[in-house]
Amino acid sequence: EAGVTQFPSHSVIEKGQTVTLRCDPISGHDNLYWYRRVMGKEIKFLLHFVKESKQDESGMPNNRFLAERTGGTYSTLKVQPAELEDSGVYFCASSLGAGNTIYFGEGSWLTVV
């Protein structure tokens, strides 16, 4: 069974450009999370979907970040326009239910230059 998959694995963009990250959760997992790790610091929560609904987006840094999960399947995280401080690794994770094991993808490395 496929795990959480993320695309692209690496992305280098210029400040002011737009980047869209995609996440495919494990099949059947209703819960989908986005996290970010910047500069070797802690992994920080961004937001949480249950199916297509946003349950918690308290970790989203600002309105340059937009997450969607159309149809409750895959999710996208768009950064527009990108700033230098947005550089980091963006992890997607999924779980069957809120109390079940949360599985992480390998991450999408974003570098804004």
Partner 1 sequence: DQQVKQNSPSLSVQEGRISILNCDYTNSMFDYFLWYKKYPAEGPTFLISISSIKDKNEDGRFTVFLNKSAKHLSLHIVPSQPGDSAVYFCAAQSLGSGNTGKLIFGQGTTLQVKP
Q: How far apart are CA 110 and CA 31, in angstroms?
A: 24
Q: Specify the residue, 71 or 99, whose C-beta has the smaller distance to partner 1.
A: 99
Q: Compute φ and ψ for 53, nearest 5 degrees.
A: -95, 135
> Which residue type does 112 have?
V
What does the block give as tokens for 51? 């199916």
Q: How far apart are CA 27 and CA 34, in angstroms?
A: 17
Residues 25-44 that bind partner 1 (CB under 8 A): 31, 33, 35, 40-44
CB of 50 to partner 1, least distance (A): 8
Per-residue x/- track, 68-87, partner 1 (CB under 8 A): --------------------
Query: Binding residues for partner 1, per CB under 8 A?
Result: 4, 31, 33, 35, 40-45, 48, 50, 55-56, 59, 91, 93, 95, 98-99, 101-107
